[in-house]
């Protein structure tokens, strides 16, 4: 797990005031981090186009141009000029070495975007929009300096952005790099240290990104055990019974000792899954909401008396009784953006469209967690956001292959499985989310089905 930050300006300031460094030192380290990427990815002597902005992000690009000059054919472009003092200084150095500023854009093997970094708060001008479109259409290896130009502090496009193969972000990783929108633009993210160790550079944060190495699968180490040792998950089957079947099969395949489908009517279920006609208090966890419709409406209130872990999904986020469940502990909720918008309205946060939820994912998840710190929220998306106790955890490992009906039912079953096995709600959500994402990296990415996803849980060990 690695920390990410809303801003790093305060960290740069600490380097200047506390560590007695200056902009020059930080800039040299920033540029050299990009040099390392280029030397590993781009053949010596290749043509490199560097598009630099007027401020300090542009100065990073000019510094890069100076360092590479001689080993590569460097074309430096300054569409907005060099306006900050440090940008002017770096340009003087570049020109003193024999470099020159180009006017006409040439073909290249590598293209570096150093126009704007973090801190963008306004829409790009028409001229810059045209330039970014041209840059995106160039067939070259593309690197973004700090953050692709056009992505603002919330990770939204203003209104378009440079599409990078690699983003070399300076000092520390920014939260905006992990928005759903940014996922199509940032490429691989590489952090550049700026002259001090990472631990010396950063301060505390409420934002974290999970990595593949964080996954701990529910392997059974105890030999003297039986099926009830590994929990009993009850899954409510409602209007769309397939959702409960998928959740149940996922739970069983993720280590749960017993899984029961609860339904008012008997129907064909997998042989390994048990059947119950009523909600009983003999489960170690419950999962409900997926495909539920209006089934169990008269009985849902009874669940409020059950002191067991619960995973709540889908149709529950349109029912006012959800407010009562959020008062309980050991509760995980797993809405997609539209469901989260409905939930926020019920809870009194205001009315939001699905698009507004997507544009404010981090802010809204954080506000929810402040009001409901004991509830684990998993907000689905290209990058899942998990909020708990006022902190946000991001799972960026999922792929577009998971954009299929039933994937969320599988995830709910996996979380329920681990909670039934005794995992803390946050850990259950974390491990299930990571396993779900990793198993979902499937090729061809259009062909993943929920059944294949459940099967792939066996293949990630």
Measured in whole angstroms, how far is the alpha carbon of residue 191 from the centre of its chain?
16
Q: How far is it, in rounded angstroms, from Cα 132 to Cα 149?
A: 8
Indicate if 192 and 320 belong to the same structural domain. no
In-domain check, residue 461: no
Number of structural domains (the chain) is: 2
In tens, the pLDDT along 63-99 reads: 999 999 999 999 999 999 999 999 999 999 999 999 9
Q: What is each CA distance from 347 to 44, 169, 324, 351, in whole angstroms?
A: 58, 37, 10, 10
Q: How far is it, in rounded angstroms, from Cα 65 to Cα 11?
A: 26
Indicate if 176 and 250 belong to the same structural domain. no
Q: List strand residue ranges (DSSP E) for 218-328, in order.
A: 232-236, 258-262, 274-276, 285-288, 310-312
In-domain check, residue 296: yes
Indicate if 137 and 9 belong to the same structural domain. yes
Out of 152, 177, 203, pick the residue that ends a domain: 203
222 pLDDT above the threshold of 90: no
Q: What is each CA distance from 137 to 74, 104, 122, 293, in whole angstroms?
A: 20, 16, 23, 46
Indicate if 332 and 440 belong to the same structural domain. yes
In-domain check, residue 157: yes
Question: What's the pLDDT at 256?
Answer: 97
Question: What's the pLDDT at 296?
Answer: 83
Out of 203, 233, 253, pick the residue that ends a domain: 203
Q: How far is it, in rounded angstroms, from Cα 34 to Cα 330?
A: 45
Indicate if 246 and 197 belong to the same structural domain. no
In-domain check, residue 417: yes
Length of the chain equals: 461
* Strands 141-145 and 310-312, sheet pairing: unpaired
231 dihedral zone (left: phi>0; alpha: psi -120 to 50; beta) = left
In tens, the pLDDT along 418-444 reads: 999 999 999 999 999 999 999 999 999
Find out whether 435 and 393 touch, Cβ atoms under 8 Å. Answer: no
* Least confident stretch, 47-51, 280-284, 285-289, 425-429: 280-284
Out of 203, 221, 240, pick the residue that ends a domain: 203
In-domain check, residue 208: no
Binned at pLDDT 50, 70 and 90, residue 295 comes out as confident
In tens, the pLDDT along 343-375 reads: 999 999 999 999 999 999 999 999 999 999 999
Question: What's the pLDDT at 252?
Answer: 98
In-domain check, residue 322: yes
DSSP category for residue 123: P
Binned at pLDDT 50, 70 and 90, residue 62 comes out as very high
146 pLDDT above the threshold of 90: yes
119 pLDDT above the threshold of 90: no
DSSP-assigned beta bridge partners for residue 332? 311, 376
Region 326-335: what's the mean pLDDT?
A: 97
Q: At what angle do helices 9-17 and 23-41 cross, to 10 degrees?
A: 120
In-domain check, residue 267: yes
381 dihedral zone (left: phi>0; alpha: psi -120 to 50; beta) = left
Q: How far is it, in rounded angstroms, from Cα 8 to Cα 101?
A: 30
Helix (H, G, I), strand (E, B) or coil at 370: helix
Binned at pLDDT 50, 70 and 90, residue 298 comes out as confident
Indicate if 184 and 223 belong to the same structural domain. no
In-domain check, residue 186: yes
Indicate if 164 and 132 belong to the same structural domain. yes
Indicate if 296 and 229 belong to the same structural domain. yes
- Domain with 67, as residue range(s), is 2-14+23-203
Find out whether 364 and 148 touch, Cβ atoms under 8 Å. Answer: no
Helix (H, G, I), strand (E, B) or coil at 314: helix
Q: 36, 100, 92, 52: which is closest to 73 by C-alpha? A: 100
CATH no. for residue 174?
3.40.50.10260
Indicate if 154 and 46 belong to the same structural domain. yes
> What would you report as the CA-atom Rg of the chain, rounded to the nearest whole angstrom?
25
Binned at pLDDT 50, 70 and 90, residue 101 comes out as very high
Indicate if 429 and 330 belong to the same structural domain. yes
CATH no. for residue 355?
3.40.1190.20
Q: CA-based angle 403:185:66, to the nearest 5?
A: 160
Question: What's the pLDDT at 280?
Answer: 80
Indicate if 250 and 391 belong to the same structural domain. yes
Question: What's the pLDDT at 461?
Answer: 78
Question: What's the pLDDT at 429?
Answer: 98
pTM: 0.95
Place of tokens 């419709």: 293
Region 220-246: what's the mean pLDDT?
A: 92
422 dihedral zone (left: phi>0; alpha: psi -120 to 50; beta) = left
Region 256-277: what's the mean pLDDT?
A: 94
Place of tokens 């002597």: 45
Q: What is the mean pLDDT of the chain?
A: 96
Binned at pLDDT 50, 70 and 90, residue 226 comes out as confident
Q: How far is it, in rounded angstroms, from Cα 189 to Cα 443?
A: 22
Find out whether 344 and 364 touch, Cβ atoms under 8 Å. Answer: yes
In tens, the pLDDT along 158-208 reads: 999 999 999 999 999 999 999 999 999 999 999 999 999 999 999 999 999
Find out whether 439 and 457 touch, Cβ atoms under 8 Å. Answer: yes
Region 267-294: what's the mean pLDDT?
A: 92
Question: What's the pLDDT at 266?
Answer: 87
Name the residue with higher pLDDT: 114 or 294.
114
Indicate if 288 and 180 belong to the same structural domain. no
Helices in 74-222 by DSSP H: which ranges? 85-96, 126-137, 198-201
């Amino acid at each position: 797990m690695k920390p990410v930050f809303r801003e790093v300006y305060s960290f740069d300031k600490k380097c200047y005031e506390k560590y007695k460094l200056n902009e020059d030192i930080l800039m040299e380290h920033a540029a050299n981090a990009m040099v390392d990427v280029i030397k590993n990815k781009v053949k010596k002597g290749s043509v490199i186009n560097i598009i630099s902005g007027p401020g300090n992000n542009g100065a990073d690009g000019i510094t890069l141009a100076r360092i590479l000059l001689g080993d590569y054919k460097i074309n430096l472009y300054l569409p907005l000029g060099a306006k900050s003092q440090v940008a002017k200084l770096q340009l003087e150095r570049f020109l003193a070495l024999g470099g020159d500023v180009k006017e006409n854009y040439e073909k290249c093997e590598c293209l570096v975007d150093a126009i704007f970094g973090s801190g963008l708060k306004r829409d790009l001008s028409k001229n810059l929009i045209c330039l970014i479109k041209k840059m995106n259409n160039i067939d070259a290896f593309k690197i973004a300096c700090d953050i692709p130009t056009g992505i603002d502090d919330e990770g939204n496009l203003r209104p378009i952005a440079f599409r990078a193969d690699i983003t070399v972000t300076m000092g520390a990783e920014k939260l905006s790099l992990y928005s759903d929108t940014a996922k199509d633009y940032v490429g691989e993210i590489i952090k550049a240290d700026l002259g001090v160790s990472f631990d010396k550079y950063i301060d505390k944060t409420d934002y974290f990104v999970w990595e593949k190495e964080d996954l701990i699968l529910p392997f059974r180490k105890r030999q003297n055990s039986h099926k009830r040792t590994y929990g009993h998950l009850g899954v409510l089957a409602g209007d769309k019974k397939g959702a409960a079947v998928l959740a149940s099969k996922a739970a069983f395949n993720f280590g749960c000792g017993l899984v029961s489908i609860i339904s008012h009517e008997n129907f064909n279920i997998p042989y390994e899954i048990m059947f119950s006609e009523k909600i009983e208090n003999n489960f170690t966890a419950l999962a409900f909401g997926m495909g539920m419709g209006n089934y169990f409406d008269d009985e849902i209130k009874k669940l409020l008396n059950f002191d067991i872990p619960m995973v709540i999904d889908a149709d529950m986020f349109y029912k006012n009784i959800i407010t009562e469940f959020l008062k309980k502990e050991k509760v995980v909720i797993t809405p997609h953006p539209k469901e989260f918008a409905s939930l926020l309205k019920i809870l009194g946060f205001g009315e939001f469209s699905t698009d507004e939820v997507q544009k404010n994912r981090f802010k809204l998840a954080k506000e929810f967690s402040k009001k409901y710190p004991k509830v684990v929220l998993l907000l689905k998306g290209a990058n899942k956001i998990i909020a708990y106790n006022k902190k946000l955890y991001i799972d960026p490992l999922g792929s577009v292959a998971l954009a299929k009906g039933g994937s969320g039912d599988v995830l709910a079953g996996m979380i329920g499985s681990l909670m039934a096995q005794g995992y803390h709600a946050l850990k259950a959500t974390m491990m299930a989310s990571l396993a779900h994402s990793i198993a979902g990296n499937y090729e061809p990415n259009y062909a993943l089905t929920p059944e294949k996803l459940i099967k792939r849980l066996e293949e990630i060990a």
